[in-house]
Structure 1
Amino acid sequence: MRKARRTAEMQHEPGNPMPYPQFGYPQPNVNTHSDPSMYMAGPQAGIYNPAAQAPLSPNYYPQQGMPFMPVGGGNEQNNFSMPTQFLQNPVMANMAMQYGHSLMGQGKEALDRELNKYVSTSRIKYYFSVDTAYVAKKLALLVFPFTHRDWSVKYNPDEPVQPRYELNAPDLYIPAMAFVTYLLIGGVSLGIQERFSPEGLGIQASTALIWALLEVLVIWVTLYLMNIQTKLTSFDILAFSSYKYVGMIVAVIASFIMPSAYHLALIYVSAATMFFLIRSLKVQILPESSRDAYGENNASFSGEGSKRRTYLLLFMGGLQPLMMWWLTRQLARP
């Protein structure tokens, strides 16, 4: 008994700590660590807390073991205020604006360069060079073309005169606006008949667009197969063949006033559109003189060559009434 007691006393002396049986920590001498905060409270009362030996750092959470993140103040607040200070600096703001304008300019140049590979942007701008006076006169010419006398188009040595300076020049502004108005009027007509639906309006738009592109393609292929050389471009053909939407709008609106007036209005606008197209294209496809569009003598204008051009002109003119009836038959009020 004395030997066992002596052994226990030696183990409790400083320098000979007894291993902690639960966690393997050496149990300190009670005399050495007399601070009660060194030990845990609650169910684990009397268990030594090693974290209490070192003073707690203000930047450390002893409970979670995570670095302390100060709230408010410090470098983080300065970092958040840097964009505001940057924008408030006039020199830096001007530099940022100049850099943004430079990027926009480079993007526009790249876009124009890619578009010019397929379509000339300057050529497209020519077809939209119109003003209010030209639009009013051209609409009157499309609806009442029978009194017009001079159908020739004046040309500069370099390029054709812009549409706003020449009434007989083709443009794409009126066809584009007439196409959109045709869709809107069609939606109103279907709404009056209680047949309107977004899907139906989408089908109407896609159908009209497909037929317009198909018409241009057929005319272009016919020109190629008949070996007819003219100054007409694809945009010219698209413009002349799309003027019929103005007459189609008139026919559909006439059906709002009186349903039986649709057929009478359609007959008149079809005749007006066909007359306008034939007289406008005659100076392009069938010149009056024996000289072709390029100013050179060409024997093909007499005989078989002249007949081919006449047939093409009649085909393009006669196609307009058929297309006008096909695209408005479902929209007019019965």
Structure 2
Amino acid sequence: MSSPQPISPQPIIPPTQNQQESQADQFFNNIAANPLASAGLSVAQNYLNQGDQLLKSQLGGIFSFDAWRYYFNVNTSFVLKKILMIIMPYPFLGSWERKYVIGEDQSKLYNVPQEDIYAPDLYIPLMGFISYVLAIGFYYGSKGTFTPETLSMTTTLCLILISLEVMILKFLEYMLFNYSSDFRIYLSYVSYVFVPVLMCTFVGSLQIPYLTYIALLFFGTSYAFFLYKTLFGSLASIQTEENKKRIYSICVGVFQIILIFFMMK
């Protein structure tokens, strides 16, 4: 009696390329035939397209030379009046709404800073930022503790603080009013803080007892009032939510006093 022959394992034949393509086509055809899956893909595609358009528009706005040039279109008269408005805003009565004309497409075309004292600019903030960094370097140099890292650390800290404040304010503006301003507007508004900080730093260098705190109280409250009026005027295009706009502007202004005290330290 002969012994049974061993059964050899059958080789596994991988599917051919045509079979793989057929299976893939069948899979996508099943998805296309499913209304729920098709709706989900359509919604996802719409969100991706919107996100791509938003990203392109934001990046295009960031690197747009014309958009940045608007905020540096200033003259000597504007700079002097604006600085006076920051440190002594109380005589400037009435609404601080920006001036504009209606374009052919019915959009608002705001006047450049040198034509409107209430327009935001970035020339004063930039000069204030540079002056503040140099003042910090001079302060540590007078004490014999200056190092090159002092300037880099001061610059980095200021940029982080300003960037965080701009992002927080834009987020709050969108959440509260469903409205989004150009980030350069907030960059201008919050960067005006270097003007009162420099004034307080100068007064503090006189080393007169309690004079620094008096300067902080005066210039801090002045800048808080300035920012309140400025923000409230910039939100004038929002016809409703008057109380919410007022509270929002007051809270942002009061926070600046804390920020000035921190930057002086």
TM-score with structure 1 setting the length: 0.56
SS in 2 for 1:156: strand
Q: Which amino acid aligns with 1:308?
A: K
In the other structure, the counterpart of 2:255 is 319
The partner residue of 2:101 within 127, 138, 156 is 156
In the other structure, the counterpart of 2:67 is 123
In the other structure, the counterpart of 1:133 is 77
1:266: Cα distance to partner?
1.3
In the other structure, the counterpart of 2:117 is 167
Question: Which whole-Å deviations, capped at 9, do the CAs of 1:227-265 have from their partners, x for residues lacking one?
Answer: 4426x3211111011111000001111111225322211
In the other structure, the counterpart of 1:214 is 164
Q: Percent identity?
A: 25
1:201: Cα distance to partner?
2.2
In the other structure, the counterpart of 1:274 is 224
1:189: Cα distance to partner?
1.4
1:117: Cα distance to partner?
6.4
CA distance in 1, matches of 2:247, 2:92: 24
CA contact (8 A) 2:229 2:249 kept: no
CA distance in 1, matches of 2:169, 2:260: 17
In the other structure, the counterpart of 1:194 is 144
Q: How does 1:227-266 map onto structure 2 within 5 Å?
A: 227-229=177-179, 232-260=181-209, 261-266=211-216
- Going from structure 1 to structure 2, the CA distance change for 1:135 and 1:117 (only over 3 Å counts) comes to closer
- Going from structure 1 to structure 2, the CA distance change for 1:308 and 1:149 (only over 3 Å counts) comes to closer
1:213: Cα distance to partner?
0.3
In the other structure, the counterpart of 1:44 is none
CA distance in 2, matches of 1:254, 1:176: 21
CA distance in 1, matches of 2:258, 2:192: 14
CA distance in 2, matches of 1:267, 1:202: 29
CA distance in 2, matches of 1:322, 1:257: 22
CA distance in 2, matches of 1:259, 1:217: 38
Q: How does 1:1-334 map onto structure 2 within 5 Å?
A: 116=60, 118-150=62-94, 151-158=96-103, 159-229=109-179, 232-260=181-209, 261-285=211-235, 287=236, 292-293=237-238, 301=240, 305-329=241-265
Q: Which amino acid aligns with 2:189?
A: F
Question: Which whole-Å deviations, capped at 9, do the CAs of 1:251-296 have from their partners, x for residues lacking one?
Answer: 11111122532221111110110111111121222x3xxxx44xxx
- Going from structure 1 to structure 2, the CA distance change for 1:205 and 1:117 (only over 3 Å counts) comes to closer
CA distance in 1, matches of 2:168, 2:74: 28
CA distance in 2, matches of 1:183, 1:324: 14
Q: Which has the larger radius of gyration?
A: 1
Q: Which amino acid aligns with 1:132?
A: T
SS in 1 for 2:219: helix
CA distance in 2, matches of 1:117, 1:268: 37
CA contact (8 A) 2:232 2:245 kept: no
CA RMSD in angstroms, aligned pairs only: 1.8
CA contact (8 A) 1:228 1:309 kept: no
- Structure 2 residue ranges without an equivalent (≥5): 1-58, 104-108
In the other structure, the counterpart of 1:84 is none
- Structure 1 residue ranges without an equivalent (≥5): 1-114, 330-334
1:306: Cα distance to partner?
3.5
1:134: Cα distance to partner?
1.1
CA contact (8 A) 2:166 2:183 kept: yes
TM-score with structure 2 setting the length: 0.70
Aligned residues: 200
CA distance in 1, matches of 2:65, 2:231: 24
Q: Which amino acid aligns with 1:317?
A: G
CA contact (8 A) 1:154 1:160 kept: yes
**Structure of greater relative contact order (alpha carbons < 8 Å, 6+ residues apart):** 2
Q: Which amino acid aligns with 1:156?
A: V
SS in 1 for 2:100: coil
1:118: Cα distance to partner?
4.2
